Structure 1
Amino acid sequence: MKALGQHVIAELYECDPEMINNHELVETIMLEAAEVSGATVVNSTFHQFNPYGVSGCVVISESHFTIHTWPEYGYAAIDVFTCGDLIDNNKALLYMKEKFASKSISVVEMKRGLLNLPVEQIRVKPVGA
């Protein structure tokens, strides 16, 4: 089925808490992951929370990479949304898993902007259902 984009929601568990609480390191790894995937980086912004945690976004020509970390749980929530067929999201996810020293990863992938699908075939799950 043809789609405009691919949205990957990843959860990294048992990450190195010090690594995912380091603002500069998290930004560097996210920028590198975007490059490894073949994406074109446009800009990035990251924020260090007090007492811990980092949130950030890497804007790419093809959409974005985002992250929010909970070092106290060794957990990082990552979204990778890309348009087109040239970006390798799996490469980026494996790179981030390795660099954040995550012991396990959970991934959900969804197609965004489904095309050539008759309206009666589009199934929308109501919020809260």
Structure 2
Amino acid sequence: MPEAFEFHVIGELRGVDESLLTDEAFVRDALVRSVVEAGLTLFDVYVHRRGEGVIGVAVIGESHVAVHTWPEHRIVTVEVSSCKDPESTWEVFALLREAFGAESYSAVDLRSGIALMESLKGAAGAVG
């Protein structure tokens, strides 16, 4: 049994070419490629231009991937959420980092559903 129900990577890509951060087609393609190459299940992608930047969300069978570009700061914020495994969330993040050609990045790894998993383990032990 996994140690959590859902795995998250939340991060920031810095030093990105401004022209990529205003290109809706590029953002859509980066989302699609990162999800597919990481072996996740792509349901749909929504990309919208907002002000100078672009917001993109990939709805995946395992949860979602979201990006928000900030061309005036050369930054992309990224949120990857998956119930599959922690490796696939990091793989999507790495693929997005590569696609955007980030000069630097920062990211954190979060896990949710830990208390619920402990509860289920306890219940399984009580029954078995």
Using the size of structure 2 for normalisation, the TM-score is 0.85
Greater Rg over alpha carbons, structure:
2
> Which residue is 1:82 aligned to?
82
**Residues 69 and 77 in structure 2, CA contact (< 8 A), matched pair in contact too:** yes
- Give the alignment of 1:27-42 within 5 angstroms: 27-42=28-43
- 1:59 aligns to what? 59
Count of residue pairs the alignment pairs up:
117
Residue in structure 1 matched with residue 123 of structure 2 by the alignment: none
Maintained 8 Å contact 2:63/2:83:
yes
Aligned to 2:82, what secondary structure does the other structure show?
A: strand
Number of the residue aligned with 2:109: 109
Residue 23 of structure 1 contacts residue 47 of structure 1 at CA under 8 Å; is this kept in 2? Answer: yes
Gaps of 5+ in 1: 118-129
Task: State how far apart, in whole Å, the 1-side matches of 2:112 and 2:29 are.
Answer: 27
Determine what percentage of the aligned residue pairs are the same residue.
28
| CA deviation vs aligned residue, 1:50-70 (integer Å, no higher than 9, x gap) | 3x1000110000000001110
The superposition leaves residues 76-123 of structure 1 with CA deviations (integer Å, 9 ceiling, x where unpaired) of: 000000002386222222211111111011010100111116xxxxxx
In structure 2, list runs of 5 or more residues that go unmatched: 120-128
Between the aligned partners of 1:84 and 1:31, the Cα distance in structure 2 is 17
Q: Distance in 1 between matches of 2:32 and 2:69?
A: 16
Corresponding residue number in structure 1 for 2:24: 23
Aligned counterparts of 2:78 and 2:94: Cα–Cα separation in 1: 12
Tell me the distance in 2 between the aligned counterparts of 1:19 and 1:12: 12
Determine helix, strand or coil for the equivalent of 1:73.
Answer: coil
**Which has a greater percent of helix?**
2
Distance 2:44 2:87 in 1: 17
Whole-angstrom distance in 2 between the partners of 1:8 and 1:90:
7
2:40 match: secondary structure: coil
In 1: Cα distance, 2:19 partner to 2:44 partner:
25
Following the alignment from structure 1 to structure 2, what is the Cα–Cα distance between the partners of residues 87 and 107?
A: 14
The one-letter code sitting in structure 2 at the alignment partner of 1:12 is L
TM-score by length of 1: 0.84
